[in-house]
Chain A
Amino acid sequence: MKFVNEYRQSENIQKIAAEIRKVTTRPWTIMEVCGGQTHAIVKNRLDQLLPQEIELVHGPGCPVCVTPLETVDRAIAIAALPEVIFCSFGDMLRVPGSERSLLDVKADGGDIRIVYSPLQAVKIAEDNPAKQIVFFAVGFETTASANAMAATQAKNKSLQNFSLLVSQFLVTPAIASICSDEDTRVQGFLAAGHVCSITGYENYLPLADKYRVPIVVTGFEPLDILEGLLMCLRQLEQGSYKVENQYLRAVERAGNRQAQMLLDNVFKVSAQQWRGLGEIPASGLGLREEFSVFDAAQKFALPKIKTQEQHHCISGDIMLGHKKPADCPHFGTDCRPERPLGAPMVSSEGACSAYYRYSQQEKAREYSMPTPNDK
């Protein structure tokens, strides 16, 4: 597959990995911000290629993990309404709400459909005029531009039966929040390449400067990630803190102007709750006044949603890099991928789910090691 295989080619990857081992002289903690990067690291087991000195921290860039419980409960309440066709990306369906998940609503007869693009939901709205179509608009700037396009199309088509349940996050304020945390252990960042393809990376310049932390805009293929790590490590070892762009083939300094204009036309910046992290000022997007008719939260007057967070979930500390999943007493015991207590155990991008698989494998290794008596 062109544009993919070149970035998975073993020889080049091994070369970069060897270079990483060569330049690393001290322990470093680096956060890969995006869940897609976490997924690639775990799927390809890139961690096995890195020297022990490097610790990777999985950042808050997993929409499944950071969507607030209140929003998940609201989605579940709306999806259960008989007049609603609820459309969502696949992996949001398994996220546990206070009492149940969207998959449970589906099993109980709710019309919930997995879509691959919000524009598919617009089409469903056109085809089903007697139904209310709600799209669960979850994600970062990348999905936000597609969602903005869906809202714009719905407006142009004067669709009365389409709305968005918005849970949009902005990446830069989250990174700023992690940097400003006095206890943070994160010393360098791999910024999310796809988000930067929309936003560009000029907004990282003041952050890198202020917190003296290197930020490398990084792609999602194995070669991208190792290259991003190498660039970040070189900076750390030299004591520099610039913003660099590894993902040259997709990201320009100023980003995608057209997408930015579309976003700005539909959404306005607002305060946003992050599951596990709490409220971060100016870190989310809400629909502008002109698009408020497409706001599902306003359209469906629901009784006040009472949320019940699983108190024992330490996802916030994990996403900030303070704690490791194994520090949680529920990890791997009563919190497992098939029955998650907290969001990071749900998606394969979630830190806990990633660590769970890893730990299972380690167990197997120990099992196969000869015991001292086996000579």
Chain B
Amino acid sequence: MNIQCPLPTTNKDSIRLGHGSGGEMTQQLLKNFIQPLFKNTWIDQAHDSATLPWKSDQLVFTTDSFVITPLFFPGGDIGKLAVYGTVNDLAMGGAEPKFLSCSLILEEGLPLSTLKRVLESMATAAEETGIKLVTGDTKVVERGKGDGIYINTSGVGTLLSNHPIDPSYIRPGDRILLSGDIGRHGIAVMASREGLEFESALTSDCAPLNWAVKALLQGGVEIHCLRDLTRGGLTTALVELAETSGRAFELDEEQIPVCESVQGACEMLGLDPLYVANEGRFVAVIPEEYAGQAIAILGEDPVGESCAIIGQVSDNPSCQVILKNGLGCDRLLQRLPGEQLPRIC
């Protein structure tokens, strides 16, 4: 008679349901995989929650979830995104990122080597941005019920500016500063997902924005609002800001940097770069008198090399975003009804 042991084996090289059971396998995963990568006082305590030192009286808090196919793409991966995403959201609130939590939802069958790559990437990103991963959780879902890895991260930071940075501070006459050329992330991911090949390899723009924001604030630039460009691209970010702030924006299309590869891919695929996703770009709304100084500071930062003033806030009460093109014609920019779908012809 051949009796099979019903207990999950622990020496397999992929994620099993047992890794999420809270038992021995979970402990091994934590000890062997996670804790060595994120060594710090708080995570080493291995407690249900982390007790953190805090001096500032303003705490900035945010959360974000990350689901992406493929998990690895030119210029980045889900681990990097999960750290940068939350760090960038904190930075957009004018905060210095301090502490991060991380929840992993893993699909049964995920190779441990893949998990390791993602976690290593998260560790590098955390190091790079100066945020400490202090608490976390791991769950495993049955095969077919996840997409390899889903990650949720939440983060807290201390406010760097002397007032909160949010859309209510946007004023007519303010200038709109874009930190760099748009659309690289969306096109790189799409090319990698669909197996499209372009003449020159394109990599995602995914990058941490906290150092650039810190440099602007410490350089004395008054910032009225910040917003990072993510899904929905530049247009969606600006339409949201216009609506929330009750102001209208006027943009100059010729000032909006788009690299040749992104432009070419968009032409071929029938997409509009103004709606393509980014993961390392932001807009800053700043008083006119700080525009030159902001460009000078941001231009020194690796994420801001191609930064440009792309428009201004107007006193038109319509809350709309109008793009003036090179022909002097106006185009109203609006949210897309759903995802941007490539056109037939």
Interface contact A143-B345, CB-CB below 8 Å: yes
* A44 vs B323: C-alpha distance when bound (angstroms): 10
> Is B325 a contact of A45 with CB atoms below 8 Å?
yes
A45 to B328, CA, bound (A): 9
Interface check B3, CB cutoff 8 A: no
Residue-wise interface mask of A (348-375) relative to B, using a CB-CB cutoff of 8 A (1 in contact, 0 not) = 1100000001101101100110000000
A116 adjacent to chain B (CB < 8 Å): yes
Residues in A neighbouring B318, C-beta threshold 8 A: 363-364, 367-368
Instruction: State whether the Cβ of B264 lies closer than 8 Å to any Cβ in chain A.
Output: yes
Residues B244-285 near A (CB distance < 8 A): 248, 260, 263-264, 267-270, 272
**Cβ contacts under 8 Å, B264 to chain A:** 1
Where the two chains meet, the residues of B that have a C-beta atom closer than 8 Å to any C-beta of A are 194, 196, 248, 260, 263-264, 267-270, 272, 316-318, 320, 322, 325-332, 334, 337-338, 341-345
CB proximity of A91 to chain B, nearest CB, Å: 5
A39 at the interface (CB under 8 A from B): yes
- Whether the pair B337, A337 counts as a contact (CB closer than 8 A) is yes
User: CA separation between A48 and B322, bound complex, in Å?
Assistant: 14
Q: Tell me if A323 is interfacial: C-beta within 8 Å of chain B.
A: no
Q: Specify which chain B residues have a CB less than 8 angstroms from the CB of A36 in the assembled complex.
A: 343, 345
- The reply to whether B345 and A194 form a contact with Cβ atoms under 8 Å apart is yes
How many A residues touch B, CB cutoff 8 Å? 50
User: When chains A and B are docked, how far (Å) is the Cα of A63 from the Cα of B345?
Assistant: 9
- Identity of the chain B residue whose Cβ is nearest the Cβ of A14 in the assembled complex: B327
15 contacts between A and B (CB under 8 A): A1-B264, A39-B343, A43-B272, A48-B328, A64-B344, A90-B343, A90-B344, A91-B343, A139-B344, A222-B327, A339-B337, A360-B320, A367-B318, A368-B316, A368-B317
Q: Which of B260, B326, B331 contacts A1 (CB 8 A)?
A: B260
Q: A1-B264, A116-B269 are in contact. Are A142 and B326 (CB under 8 A)?
A: no
CA distance A364 to B317 in the complex (A): 9
Nearest-CB distance from A211 to chain B (Å)? 26
CA distance A292 to B328 in the complex (A): 52
A363 and B330 CA atoms in complex are apart in Å by 13
- Chain B neighbourhood of A337, CB < 8 A: 337
- Given A1-B263, A116-B194, A367-B317, A45 and B342 touching (CB < 8 A)? no
* Minimum CB distance partner of B196 in chain A: A116
CB contacts (< 8 Å) of B326 on chain A: these are 8-10
Is A13 a contact of B334 with CB atoms below 8 Å?
no
**Distance A191 CA – B326 CA, assembled complex (angstroms):** 26
By beta carbon, the residue of chain B nearest A42 is B331
CB < 8 Å: which of A48, A114, A143 contacts B329?
A48
Do A45 and B327 touch (CB < 8 A)? yes
CB distance from A366 to the nearest CB of B (A): 9
Interface string of A1-40 (1 = CB under 8 A from B): 1001000111001100100000000000000001110010
- Residues of chain A from 159 to 179 with CB closer than 8 A to chain B in the complex: none
Contacts of B343 in A (CB 8 A): 36, 39, 89-91, 347-349
Partner of B344, one of A17, A44, A63, A361: A63
* Docked-complex contact B330 and A91, CB < 8 angstroms: no
A139 to B345 CA separation, bound complex (whole angstroms): 8
Q: Are A44 and B325 in contact (CB under 8 A)?
A: yes
Residues of B within 8 A of A142 (CB): 345
Cβ of A77 within 8 Å of any chain B Cβ, yes or no, is no
The residue on A at minimum CB distance from B341 is A90
Question: Is A143 within 8 A of B344, CB to CB?
Answer: yes
Q: Is A297 an interface residue (CB 8 A)?
A: no
Once bound together, how far apart are the Cα atoms of A138 and B345, in whole Å?
Answer: 11
Output the residue of B317, B318, B344 with the most chain A CB within 10 A.
B344
Q: Is there an interface contact between B331 and A43, defined as CB atoms closer than 8 Å? A: yes
Which one of B269, B317, B320 has the highest number of Cβ atoms from chain A below 10 Å of its Cβ? B320
Closest to A138 in B: B344
A21 vs B331: C-alpha distance when bound (angstroms): 21
Q: Compute how far the CA of A138 lies from the CA of B328 in the bound complex, rounded to whole angstroms.
A: 36
Known: A63-B344, A116-B194, A339-B337. 14 other contacts (CB 8 A): A10-B326, A36-B343, A44-B329, A44-B331, A48-B327, A48-B329, A90-B270, A90-B342, A93-B341, A114-B342, A116-B196, A194-B345, A360-B334, A368-B318
